[in-house]
Amino acid sequence: MAEPMNKVKPGDLITSDLLNAIVGNLEELMKGVSTGTGLVTVPSVIGRRFSEARATAQSPATHMGLGAVFDVTGQAVDTTSAEVQTRIVVNQDPPPGARVPAGTPLKMVLSARAATGGGTTPTKPTIVSFTPEKTRIGDPVTIRGTNFELAREDNEVFFAGKKAQVPLASNREELVVVVPDIDQPPTGTQEKQVEVLVKTVNGTAESKTTLLAKSEVPSPAITSTSPTRVTPNDDLTIRGTAFASTPQGNTVIIDTQTGTIKGGSAGTLIVGVPQSLFAGMGSGTTKQVDVRVTNKETGKTSPPGTKITLAVPEPA
């Protein structure tokens, strides 16, 4: 146990020399952190993809480094492998919030996948159903099934051989995908049954769904966002076309969470960014996330591709 602090006792006068000594020690401590020789707070990377966790560990603002990386079976993984970048961090050492000397390596345990050795047996995806059962080209459809990938970009979806954009949302049992324009699409009141494929690293699921002609109602389109670099407590302004007639007639999804509509007009939305999106981000770190707008009056959603940067500034 550390010796108790007993240099200053109740009733003592604090002299200017003592105050100067305290200030000097604090300055040395902060200098130590900035030069990599002091104590730093360990960021949380649990639940994040390895590519993001590695960037956090190796960020100059974090003052740490990347340590040993294993999967949940105890086997070391190849940290340069493209497949490993999408695995999820399930544990870390030192734990989040611990105070450690700068330069301490951050060790991680990742979810396992047999494709890189070790871990669980790979399970190919399956498709169970589509909602709606008949979907217009250009509209979103929810594909229900099993063993989809958590990272949206790790699921490739094809309709009649045409690859769709990155899914709007994904979890193990559902994918939300905008149906792409296909060759020889249905017109008027026609219906067309097409093959649907969902590809992951563990295999391909096959099924069929019915497509309808593309709607003449336009989908929302985001033309600009400001600021493009969003810090905690910032509001996001989104400008675009085909939004609902009132701001509250829209839903704004930032990454996987719903923003708070604070105001706007037919072509502008002012949105509160969910603070939970910044959870686990260390000081000085950034990450890019998608932004999408759904017009609740038409049911149309803006296409993927609009991104903003979330940023946590370093302490002043």
CATH code assigned at 140:
2.60.40.10
Please indicate whether residue 185 or residue 15 has the higher confidence score (pLDDT).
Answer: 185
Residue 61 in any domain: the answer is yes
Query: Mean pLDDT highest for which of 208-212, 274-278, 284-288?
Result: 208-212
| pLDDT (average), residues 240-264 | 93
Residues 206 and 238 in one domain: no
Residue 258 in any domain: the answer is yes
Residue 14 in any domain: the answer is no
| pLDDT (average), residues 134-161 | 91
pLDDT of residue 119: 40
pLDDT of residue 25: 66
Angle at 289 between CA 182 and CA 225, to 5 degrees: 90
Query: Mean pLDDT highest for which of 112-116, 137-141, 303-307?
Result: 137-141
What's the chain's length in residues?
Answer: 316
Residue 294: is its pLDDT beyond 60? yes
Residue 174 in any domain: the answer is yes
| pLDDT (average), residues 237-244 | 94
Cβ pair 174, 152 in contact under 8 A: no
- Please name which of 315, 285, 291, 286 lies closest in space to residue 304, comparing C-alpha atoms: 291
Bridge-partner residues for 250, per DSSP?
295
Residue 308: is its pLDDT beyond 60? yes
Residues 260 and 298 in one domain: yes
Could you give the number of structural domains in the chain?
Answer: 3
Cβ pair 268, 277 in contact under 8 A: no
Label residue 195 by pLDDT band (50, 70, 90). Answer: very high
pLDDT of residue 2: 43
Could you tell me whether strands 229-230 and 307-311 are parallel, antiparallel, or unpaired per DSSP bridges? parallel
Task: Find the domain containing 167 and state its range.
Answer: 126-212
Residues 134 and 200 in one domain: yes
Residues 193 and 271 in one domain: no
Residues 241 and 296 in one domain: yes
Tokens 């050795």 sit on residue: 117
Burial 246-269 (b: 16+ CB within 10 A, else e): ebeebebbbbeeebebeebeeeeb
Residues 164 and 202 in one domain: yes
Residues 97 and 143 in one domain: no
- Please name which of 138, 153, 165 lies closest in space to residue 301, comparing C-alpha atoms: 138
Residue 66 in any domain: the answer is yes
Residues 277 and 300 in one domain: yes
Q: What distance in Å separates the CA atoms of residue 52 and residue 88, rounded to the nearest whole number?
A: 10
Tokens 């200017």 sit on residue: 16
Residues 133 and 193 in one domain: yes
Q: What is the pLDDT of residues 24-45, one digit of tens each?
A: 666 655 555 444 456 888 999 9
Residue 116: is its pLDDT beyond 50? no
Residue 249 in any domain: the answer is yes
Supply the CATH number for residue 54's domain.
Answer: 3.30.10.20
Last residue of a domain, one of 212, 241, 262: 212
Residue 76 in any domain: the answer is yes
Last residue of a domain, one of 83, 116, 149: 116
- Please name which of 78, 83, 214, 206 lies closest in space to residue 139, comparing C-alpha atoms: 214
Residues 110 and 154 in one domain: no
Pinpoint the alpha helices (H) of the chain: 16-34, 50-58
| Cβ-Cβ contacts under 8 Å for 109 (sequence gap 6 or more) | 69, 70, 71, 72, 89, 90, 91, 92
Residues 100 and 175 in one domain: no
Tokens 């560990």 sit on residue: 57
Residues 71 and 109 in one domain: yes
Tokens describing residue 305:
């591709």
pLDDT of residue 208: 96
Q: What distance in Å separates the CA atoms of residue 251 and residue 256, rounded to the nearest whole number?
A: 12
Residue 132 in any domain: the answer is yes
Last residue of a domain, one of 67, 86, 116: 116
pLDDT of residue 156: 95
Mean pLDDT of all residues belonging to the chain: 85
Distance of alpha carbon 305 from the chain centroid: 14
Dump the DSSP string for 117-159. SSSSPP---EEEEEESSEEETTSEEEEEEE---SSGGG-EEEE
